């Protein structure tokens, strides 16, 4: 339901007020699910007749699609709002969407009176009405922002238009949202709500629309993507591997990925899919967060270091070349040097191809924010550095092991040199290749010839479009 709130906002002098905005610009922060949401907001506004602006300056509606996961991300939103004011004193209509909108609601409009719309991640299908409401508020001289942070029982997806033609060969598809795990440091269960799985048939339809629009690779997204469940056309209960199996039958779709997974939902069926389904890429993002059982318990992760390593073992037996990725938090409250050493140990044991690591950031309303023994920033910095040094060494070593491989690269963008294109290997590495005549969206055979820490060089062999 739409709500509105009194703010101390001065009247917006936005030029869009009379007719409503006509050119939108969306900036998404944070995770891939936010990127997906940002794209869907854009597609919805385009379906309403608005145009995508080339830049924020050129837009009369700017949507900041925000992330609440760490404090820094939140601070960025407020500085960004401030920078939207133009030299002549005017400003575009400003919408704050995403997880900060959900978590802070009216507080945003109080703290940043130039904000016209606040819309949560489960309510953005109502953006057109909120824009209308904001426009009316402005015209009527009201100081209200249009706010909608509802989490409706019927999900937004049914209200969104069919996927538009995509600008890139690789697309995201959100299949699952929310989280019931309640890790003690994490805001996601509060900002995104309870775990929901989108229906099987809707996902097949959306994938088909993406492929019809030229997409070759789909990454299935969810905060706990491997918790997805559904019922197929024959009425059979399916886990994520069942959905992947069905999508793999779609002509034109060459590659399937999924992210992010929780260790506890890593079923034998999904692990076997990595062996059995050729289109499922050999890459797994499986966050462990810490290698210390004591810290994992305090985090409410409900797995241990050993149970995590046992899963990795199974995955590697199923798909020996899997590129393993993960997330780590250093400096969780109470983390001792010995706990941190256990994290380094699990990194050594698991051997990552690539990983993300963060300093713990206390988030308001989460249990960990009130725990004793918060770790000093200096210790966090030092631990993060040591962890990242180890992860970088592993990444470089992984890249090196793939040199000499003959594999396929999906070309995603032009490179810096003439005739150079950049794409992704099956292991999600960036590969630069001289491929005169090849186009973005081509899947080409390459030999990987050299590796750096962040990308590889490939030599083009032949074109192999799906
Ligand atoms: N502080 C630091 N990192 C966090 N993450 C989630 N919450 C926090 C927090 N409060 C990290 C986890 C998660 C990733 C998306 O962000 O590693 O897997
Ligand atoms: Fe957050 Fe834990 Fe849920 Fe991941 S599993 S979204 S870290 S609560």
What pLDDT band is residue 18 in, cutting at 50, 70 and 90?
Answer: low
Asked if residue 432 and residue 314 are part of one domain, the reply reads no
- CB-based contact 17:60 (threshold 8 Å): no
Last residue of a domain, one of 97, 125, 148: 148
Ligand 1, residues 67, 103, 186: which to mutate, most atoms within 8 A of Cβ? 186
**Lowest model confidence (mean pLDDT) among 79-83, 171-175, 288-292, 381-385:** 79-83
Q: Which ligand is nearest to the CA of 289?
A: 1
Asked if residue 371 and residue 314 are part of one domain, the reply reads yes
Residue 86's CATH number: 3.40.50.12160
Q: Which ligand is nearest to the CA of 387?
A: 1
Residue 444's CATH number: 2.40.50.140
What pLDDT band is residue 155 in, cutting at 50, 70 and 90?
Answer: confident
Asked if residue 180 and residue 104 are part of one domain, the reply reads no
Asked if residue 337 and residue 412 are part of one domain, the reply reads no
C-alpha 187 – ligand 1 centre gap (Å): 9
Task: Indicate which atom in ligand 1 lies nearest the CA of residue 185.
Answer: 10
Last residue of a domain, one of 90, 117, 148: 148
Which pLDDT tens digit goes with each residue over 57-90? 999 999 999 999 999 888 889 999 999 988 888 8
Q: Which ligand is nearest to the CA of 371?
A: 1
Q: If 0-12 CB within 10 Å is exposed, 13-18 middle and 19+ buried, where does residue 73 land?
A: middle
Identify the pLDDT of residue 465.
54
Angle (CA) 12 14 17, round 5°: 95
Q: Which residue has the higher pLDDT, 87 or 216?
A: 216
Ligand 2 pocket at CB < 6 A = 179, 181-183, 186, 188-189, 223-224, 262
C-alpha 358 – ligand 1 centre gap (Å): 7
| SS3 letters across 284-346 | EECCCECCCHHHHHHCCCCCCHHHHHHHHHHHHHHCCCCEEEEEEEECCCCCCHHHHHHHHHH
Is 6's pLDDT higher than 50? no
pTM of the model: 0.93
Is 463's pLDDT higher than 70? no
Q: Measuring CA to CA, how many Å separate 284 from each of 276, 319, 382, 428, 441?
A: 15, 10, 28, 10, 23
Asked if residue 134 and residue 73 are part of one domain, the reply reads yes
Identify the pLDDT of residue 464.
57
Which pLDDT tens digit goes with each residue over 306-351? 999 999 999 999 999 999 999 999 999 999 999 999 999 999 999 9
- Our answer on whether the CB atom of 69 is closer than 6 Å to any ligand 1 atom is yes
Residue 248's CATH number: 3.80.30.20
Is 126's pLDDT higher than 70? yes
Q: At what angle do helices 305-318 and 268-276 cross, to 10 degrees?
A: 30
Please compute the mean of the pLDDT values over residues 103-128 and round it to a whole number.
Answer: 94
Q: Whose CA is nearest to atom 1 of ligand 2?
A: 186
φ and ψ at residue 223, rounded to 5 degrees:
-60, -35
Which pLDDT tens digit goes with each residue over 166-200? 989 999 999 999 999 999 999 999 998 999 999 99
φ and ψ at residue 226, rounded to 5 degrees:
-80, 0
Identify the pLDDT of residue 334.
98
Asked if residue 130 and residue 58 are part of one domain, the reply reads yes
Domain extent, residue 349, equals 157-401
Please compute the mean of the pLDDT values over residues 94-111 and round it to a whole number.
Answer: 94
Please compute the mean of the pLDDT values over residues 428-432 and round it to a whole number.
Answer: 98
Asked if residue 451 and residue 393 are part of one domain, the reply reads no
Asked if residue 125 and residue 87 are part of one domain, the reply reads yes
Asked if residue 136 and residue 258 are part of one domain, the reply reads no
Q: How many structural domains compose the chain? A: 3
Last residue of a domain, one of 148, 171, 189: 148
Please compute the mean of the pLDDT values over residues 149-157 and round it to a whole number.
Answer: 85
The rounded distance, in Å, linking the Cα atoms of 379 and 367 is 22
Q: If 0-12 CB within 10 Å is exposed, 13-18 middle and 19+ buried, where does residue 403 land?
A: middle
The pLDDT > 70 percentage for the chain reads 95
The rounded distance, in Å, linking the Cα atoms of 280 and 245 is 9
- Our answer on whether the CB atom of 239 is closer than 6 Å to any ligand 1 atom is no
Is 230's pLDDT higher than 80? yes
Task: Indicate which atom in ligand 1 lies nearest the CA of residue 357.
Answer: 17
What pLDDT band is residue 96 in, cutting at 50, 70 and 90?
Answer: very high
Q: Whose CA is nearest to atom 18 of ligand 1?
A: 327
Q: Which ligand is nearest to the CA of 224?
A: 2
Task: Indicate which atom in ligand 2 lies nearest the CA of residue 192.
Answer: 6
Which pLDDT tens digit goes with each residue over 231-256? 999 999 999 999 999 999 999 999 99
Identify the pLDDT of residue 15.
45
Asked if residue 323 and residue 209 are part of one domain, the reply reads yes
Asked if residue 41 and residue 9 are part of one domain, the reply reads yes
Asked if residue 216 and residue 179 are part of one domain, the reply reads yes
Tokens (6 digits) for 300: 């409410």
Q: If 0-12 CB within 10 Å is exposed, 13-18 middle and 19+ buried, where does residue 35 land?
A: middle
């Amino acid at each position: 339901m739409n709500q509105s709130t009194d703010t101390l906002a001065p009247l917006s002098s936005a030029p869009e007020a009379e007719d409503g905005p006509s050119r939108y610009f969306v900036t998404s922060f944070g995770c891939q699910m936010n990127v997906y949401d940002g794209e869907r907001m854009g597609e919805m506004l385009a379906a309403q007749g608005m145009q995508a602006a080339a830049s924020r300056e050129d837009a009369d509606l700017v949507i900041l699609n925000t992330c609440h996961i760490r404090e820094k991300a939140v601070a960025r939103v407020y500085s960004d709002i401030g920078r939207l004011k133009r030299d002549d004193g005017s400003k575009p209509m400003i919408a704050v969407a995403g997880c900060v909108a959900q978590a802070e609601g009216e507080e945003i409009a109080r703290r940043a009176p130039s904000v016209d719309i606040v819309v949560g991640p489960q309510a953005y299908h109502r953006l057109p009405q909120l824009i209308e409401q904001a426009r009316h508020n402005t015209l009527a001289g009201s100081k209200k922002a249009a706010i909608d942070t509802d989490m409706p029982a019927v999900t937004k997806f049914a209200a969104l238009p069919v996927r538009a033609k995509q600008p890139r060969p690789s697309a995201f598809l959100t299949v699952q949202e929310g989280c019931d795990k309640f890790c003690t440091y994490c805001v996601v269960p509060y900002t995104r709500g309870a775990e929901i799985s989108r229906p099987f048939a809707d996902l097949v339809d959306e994938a088909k629309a993406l492929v019809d629009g030229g997409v070759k690779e789909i990454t299935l997204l969810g905060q706990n993507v491997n918790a997805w469940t559904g019922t197929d056309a024959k009425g059979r209960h399916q886990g994520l591997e069942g959905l992947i199996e069905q999508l793999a039958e779609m002509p034109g779709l060459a590659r399937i990925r999924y992210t992010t997974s929780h260790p506890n939902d890593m079923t034998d069926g999904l692990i076997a899919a990595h062996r059995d389904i050729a289109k499922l890429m050999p890459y797994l993002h499986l966050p462990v967060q810490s290698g210390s059982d004591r810290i994992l318990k305090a985090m409410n992760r409900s797995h241990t270091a050993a149970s995590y390593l046992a899963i990795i073992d199974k995955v590697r037996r199923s798909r020996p070349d899997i590129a393993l990725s993960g997330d780590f938090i250093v400096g969780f409250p109470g983390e001792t040097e010995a706990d941190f050493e256990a994290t380094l140990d699990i990194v050594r044991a698991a051997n990552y191809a690539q990983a993300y690591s963060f300093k713990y950031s206390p988030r308001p309303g989460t249990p960990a924010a009130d725990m004793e023994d918060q770790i000093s920033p200096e210790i966090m910095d030092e631990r993060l550095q040591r962890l990242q040094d180890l992860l970088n060494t592993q990444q470089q070593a992984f890249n090196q092991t793939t040199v000499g491989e003959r594999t396929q690269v999906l070309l995603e963008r032009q490179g810096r040199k003439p005739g150079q294109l950049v794409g992704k290997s099956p292991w999600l590495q960036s590969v630069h290749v001289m491929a005169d005549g090849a186009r973005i969206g081509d899947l080409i055979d390459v030999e990987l010839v050299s590796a750096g820490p962040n990308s590889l060089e490939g030599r083009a062999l032949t074109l192999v479009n799906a």
